[in-house]
Amino acid sequence: MSKMLVKYLTPGVTTARPIKDENDNVLFPRGHKLTEQDIQSLVERRIVLVFVDKEDLFQLRKKAQGDKEEPAAGSLQYKTPLIDDVQLLVSEDTQKAAIEAVHSVIGDMRSGKPLDSAQSQDVVDTMVLEMMANKDAMVNLIDIKTFDDYTFSHPVNVCALSILIAIEMGCSAEEIKVFGVGALLHDVGKVEIQDEILNKRGALTDEEFLEMKKHPVFSRNMLVQDKKISEQSINIAFQHHEKFNGAGYPQGLSGEQIDKFARVAAIADVYDALTSDRIYRPKMKPYEAMKIILSGNGTHFDPEVVKVFVKHMSVYPAESIVRLSSNEIAIVIKANENTLIAPVVRLIVDKNGNKVSNKEEINLSEDSRYICEALSESDLNP
């Protein structure tokens, strides 16, 4: 038996547990082979995770990949199958558990149930332990494909990035756990915003934007219901749209008036939003998103937090695809903290345009080659 995100289901996969709706009604019994229509129904009902037959799933994937026993290119962890042997900061199981926790909280809020953060607290504990033990691992964010995925996956990415920054800032494990809960639940108030506004493809009207700006207040009002959530966690949700120069919302706070961890979450929130597909625009290259973060240094964002973020992520964050001065194409594996424009990369296309299969890695800080430009995934045609 294996948990699987609905967005990666394949017709023919067998359910290992009954799939139920929010009212505990059975939609599909155990042992049911899912069809394309079944999967679409799950998507429409905003069901995110299901239990499927692991062997059945393996056989279907193996057949789809031509009997090659390799990770699927569309797996939760990877935008490409080019880095499947690299140590990752957050395990796939923990990412899935975090999505499930967010889904549970949002489901409770939508159905009018009291907020219970116990599941979120537990998964944040796991994330902190993994990340503190794997400080040199590659930052792996969940690749977002649809709006509903964004609703559940964006908080997990913001949480992971925020924890990463907090670790680099030298915060204690207990302090980081408090921080992580606030980051994971920072957007729960959006359940009070009309879908017509959240899903709008064009620009919001002034009235719609005023409504959208209420979600931090809604988040605070929801989180205070649970006595297990600390005041600092609540402040992260309430203040993550405040700007360092005082031009943010909902209170127009500035500088150190803004909670330290809310200043961290603000950067994580914007970076993940920029690098995710949205209803109204396609995702940006990590390099382009980093330039926007840097352009907000001292105005939108706390300069000290920006310094830590860029130092660890580099100007070319992990999974960036770049062209080298040698005309080779590489994928960024991890940053070099002392040389922000010279990360560690893995060659994927040689100078003649041929795919590289030996997974050669290069520390550009120790090599004569350098990055000429950032590329998009659509430019990658080995």
The residues assigned a catalytic role are 190
Could you give the C-alpha distances from 302 to 184, 246, 256, in angstroms and in order? Answer: 21, 11, 9
Q: Provide CB contacts within 8 A for 130, sequence distance 6+.
A: 89, 90, 91, 94
Strands 26-28 and 49-52 turn out to be unpaired
- Torsion 142-358-337-371 (CA) sign: negative
Q: Provide CB contacts within 8 A for 340, sequence distance 6+.
A: 310, 311, 314, 315
Name residue 15's amino acid: T
Query: For residues 191 and 118, what is the distance between their CA atoms, to the nearest angstrom?
Result: 19
Could you give the C-alpha distances from 265 to 152, 202, 372, in angstroms and in order? Answer: 16, 26, 31
3-state secondary structure of 5: strand
The strand pairing partners of 15, in sequence order, are 52
Looking only at Cα atoms, what is the longest distance across the chain?
62
Query: For residues 159 and 180, what is the distance between their CA atoms, to the nearest angstrom?
Result: 6
Tokens of 193: 């915003």
Q: What is the dihedral of CA 357, 358, 359, 361, to 10 degrees?
A: -130
